[in-house]
Amino acid sequence: MVDGGLSDVPGAGVELYEQYPQIKEIYAKAAEWTGLTVDRLLRWELPRQQEYQRVGLIRQAAIILGVADLLAERGAPPDVIAGMSLGSLVGACLAGAVDRRDLFAFLRRKVDVPPPTGPAQGCAGILVPADIDDAEYLDKLVDGVYVAGELGLRRGGTVRGFMVAGYREALLQVKDKLPEGAMHLIPDVNIAVHSPLCTDQNEYLEPVVSAMNFRDPVVPLCSCKERGMLTSAKDVQEWYLGNQVDKVSHPDMFYNVIQKEPQIAFLLGPAKLDIYLDSLPCPVIQVEDPEQLSDAMTAIYELRI
């Protein structure tokens, strides 16, 4: 399992880098392919959104690939891969559908995407009580606001979560129409991700996607936008092309994973662990540092997998 962006925190990856030559090698390659320095990949300098946009997405990809390599070397390669948003792009690489050099070339292009023009943009979360129809809340969306993500059940199954994206002024209009506390603006996010407002970003990224060498996934690769698997090179290419504008869905992604009857799930790199703990019917272990890597191997032994 691979989480979406904006999950890393200051210091992410440092312990792994200091302890494992394999991680050093991946950081060196990531730096070579993106024009960043290894020192910058290890260092957090900017506010959250800016750090993610300039460096964090590349750093997160490097950590994920490195952790996957360490697990595979220890006899635990993936049997099925699922990723959300940025995680799905890296997941396609783990599944053998995208070369690492191509992945980092895409992420480097993503770093250079011009900021949105026009009215200020943003994202927000909406929580709908589980005993209320979603339409009672989502029908209150106004022009310029889109459902960008289905987040599934939260807070012990008492609410269903949605991410909406759009123009900031329109988001505030929606907030005023909903019950108090039902909607919160996501701090530091100034791009309406996974919505039609990112069409210009898609167009900016299209040339590098067209130059990439896509292949059929070697390891089963779950979609994060609908029920089903990405089974062909064309499927993966279309997802790369649509990643900025297509709505994502945690429930659909988890459904796809559950159909594979997992015995254990490893959440690679920086992530929001609670989302995965609440959604999968098997143990979930995050692997982001050397201690967690040891925990993962112990769990495999104890479960006799």
Closest CA to 113 of 219, 199, 15, 31: 199
The CA-based diameter of the chain, rounded to the nearest angstrom, is: 56
Structure tokens at 64: 């994920």
Does the pLDDT of residue 305 top 80, yes or no? no
What's the mean pLDDT in 121-139?
A: 97
- Partner residues linked to 222 by β-bridges: 229
Instruction: Assess if residue 7 is contained within a domain.
Output: no
Same-domain status, 206 and 241: yes
Same-domain status, 140 and 287: no
Instruction: Assess if residue 25 is contained within a domain.
Output: yes
Strand duo 121-129 + 229-230: pairing: unpaired
Grade residue 127 by pLDDT with cuts at 50, 70 and 90.
Answer: very high
Calpha distance 158→169 (Å, rounded): 29
Does the pLDDT of residue 77 top 80, yes or no? yes
Does the pLDDT of residue 268 top 90, yes or no? yes
Closest CA to 267 of 301, 305, 293, 228: 293
Residues 6+ apart with CB under 8 A from 20: 66, 70, 290
Same-domain status, 164 and 287: no
Closest CA to 50 of 19, 81, 6, 90: 6
What's the mean pLDDT in 30-49?
A: 95
What's the mean pLDDT in 124-133?
A: 97
Please provide the DSSP assignment of 223-285 as one string. -SSSSSEE-SHHHHHHHHHHTTTS-EEHHHHHHHHHTT--S-EEEESS--HHHHHTT-SS-EE
What's the mean pLDDT in 278-286?
A: 93
Calpha distance 215→19 (Å, rounded): 33
Q: What's the pLDDT tens digit per position in 195-236?
A: 999 999 999 999 999 999 999 999 999 999 999 999 999 999
Its pTM stands at 0.95
Q: Which amino acid would we find at residue 16?
A: L
Q: State the pLDDT at residue 96.
A: 98
Instruction: Assess if residue 8 is contained within a domain.
Output: no
Per the model's pLDDT, the better-predicted residue between 87 and 48 turns out to be 87
Q: Where are the beta strands (DSSP E) in the chain?
A: 121-129, 145-154, 159-167, 183-185, 221-222, 229-230, 248-249, 265-268, 284-287
Mean pLDDT computed over every residue of the chain: 95
Same-domain status, 110 and 146: no
Q: State the pLDDT at residue 33.
A: 97
Q: State the pLDDT at residue 114.
A: 92
Same-domain status, 217 and 85: yes
Q: State the pLDDT at residue 19.
A: 97
What's the mean pLDDT in 250-278?
A: 95
The residue whose two tokens read 């995407």 is: 113
Does the pLDDT of residue 190 top 80, yes or no? yes
Please provide the DSSP assignment of 12-24 as one string. TTHHHHHH-HHHH
Instruction: Assess if residue 253 is contained within a domain.
Output: yes
Does the pLDDT of residue 257 top 80, yes or no? yes
Does the pLDDT of residue 110 top 80, yes or no? yes
Residue 241, SS3 per DSSP: helix
Q: State the pLDDT at residue 278.
A: 84
Indicate the DSSP class of residue 113.
Answer: P
The residue segments making up the domain with residue 203 are 14-114+196-303
Grade residue 304 by pLDDT with cuts at 50, 70 and 90.
Answer: confident
The CA-atom distances, in angstroms, between 43 and each of 9, 24, 35, 193, 251 are 10, 14, 15, 25, 34
Same-domain status, 40 and 174: no
Structure tokens at 39: 């020192």
Grade residue 247 by pLDDT with cuts at 50, 70 and 90.
Answer: very high
Same-domain status, 110 and 128: no
Q: State the pLDDT at residue 57.
A: 96
CATH number at residue 63: 3.40.366.10
Grade residue 39 by pLDDT with cuts at 50, 70 and 90.
Answer: very high
Strand duo 221-222 + 159-167: pairing: unpaired
CATH number at residue 131: 3.30.70.80
Per the model's pLDDT, the better-predicted residue between 275 and 198 turns out to be 198
Grade residue 303 by pLDDT with cuts at 50, 70 and 90.
Answer: confident
Q: State the pLDDT at residue 99.
A: 98
Looking at the chain, how many residues does it have?
305
Q: State the pLDDT at residue 244.
A: 93
Instruction: Assess if residue 1 is contained within a domain.
Output: no
- The total number of structural domains in the chain stands at 2
Calpha distance 77→19 (Å, rounded): 21
Q: State the pLDDT at residue 156.
A: 86
Indicate the DSSP class of residue 245.
Answer: T
Strand duo 145-154 + 265-268: pairing: unpaired
